[in-house]
Structures are given as structure tokens and as C-alpha cells.
Amino acid sequence: MLNAPEDHPPEQPPAGGSGGSQPIAVALWKTAQPLIRGFDAMLTEHGTSWQVWHILLALSSSTPGTQRALASAVGIREATLTHHLRTMEDKGLIVRTRMPENRRVQHVEVTEAGGRLFDELKTSAIEFDRRLRDAIGPDDEVSRFLGVLGRLAAAAPEGGRDILPEDWPRQPGS
């Protein structure tokens, strides 16, 4: 599991005055890397990957239904999604069903085993999120921080999009 924040003090902010001289994108990248490694380590403890988590999360947070809608919700290409879904299907985490009205379209659903894995991962993800929120501070600071992240995502060339819906976490199929 990720070490406690006090075990690894954060890097000091860059020198250079009130606004800092480091480009924001660089600071975000340097911050995201240890967070991603920590989250990946947590997922590895459960024998899974970021891609599986993200797909299960998308299926539990909404009902994308088709592979095309799921690829869009996860933010990856359909061919990449197909690779991950094949592995997940082989492990019994999801089922894909061809739609009778259009055999090229496949509907994707989480199985009981996939729901159990999601529940395990969700518990760890909520704990990981709690640690991050504790590091930020009180709820009003967390809200401000999330607002800034939203504005940064919206300012990106492709525009931002929400990854987690307001009602997360929900159970798969609910």
C-alpha cells in the first residue's frame, strides 16, 4: 500500500515568487506520477490494473451499454477497449452480448465476479481518496482544489470531461 504521507514528505514548491516559476503542466505531471504509482500499487495488490478498474468504474457509474459508448466513457480507442474486455471476459468479470438488431454492436455488462472485484477495489479506492483529501485539508479546500482541477481540464486543448460522476460510488448494475 502507499506509504503514509509523513513517510515521504512532499517536494518543496519551486522558488520564484508568489506564483512559482514551474509550468503548471509540469507541476501537475510531477504530482500525478507518484499518485498514479501509488494507486497502481494498490490495484496490483488486488491482482488487477488501472484499465480494469476504470472499465468497471465506468460500467458502475453509468450504463454505457455498448462497447462504443464504453470506450468513449473510459476515454480510450475501441480497439484498445476490445483487448481489455477480452481479458476481462476470460476472467469472468464481464459479459458481452451481440445486439440482435445489429450484430456488430455489443452490449457489455458486469458479472457477479466483476461486481465483487469492483467492491474490493472500490473500498481501496475510497481509502486512497480519503488519504488524498486528508492531505489537502478541510472540505472547503478540497472543493476549491477540485474546482481548480476542473478549470484546468476545461482549459486543455481537447477540453475537460468528468471521469467520476457526482453519485460515485454506485454498485455495478444499480
pLDDT of residue 116: 94
CATH topology of domain 25-155: Arc Repressor Mutant, subunit A (1.10.10)
pTM of this prediction? 0.69
Domains of the chain, by residue range, sit at 25-155
φ, ψ of residue 3 in degrees (nearest 5): -65, 155
Contacts 24+ apart (CB under 8 A), 103-108: 105/66, 105/67, 105/68, 106/66, 106/67, 107/65, 107/66, 108/59, 108/64, 108/65, 108/66, 108/67, 108/70
* 3-state SS string for the chain: CCCCHHHCCCCCCCCCCCCCCCCHHHHHHHHHHHHHHHHHHHHHHCCCCHHHHHHHHHHHHCCCCEHHHHHHHHCCCHHHHHHHHHHHHHCCCEEEEEECCEEEEEEEEECHHHHHHHHHHHHHHHHHHHHHHHHHCCHHHHHHHHHHHHHHHHHCCCCCCCCCCCCCCCCCCC
Q: What is the pLDDT of residue 171?
A: 44
59, 108 in Cβ contact below 8 A? yes
Spatial distance between the Cα atoms of 53 and 121, rounded to a whole number of angstroms: 7
Give pLDDT, residue 108. Answer: 87
Average pLDDT by stretches of 10, the chain with 174 residues = 45 50 90 92 90 90 78 86 94 88 80 94 93 95 92 75 48 46
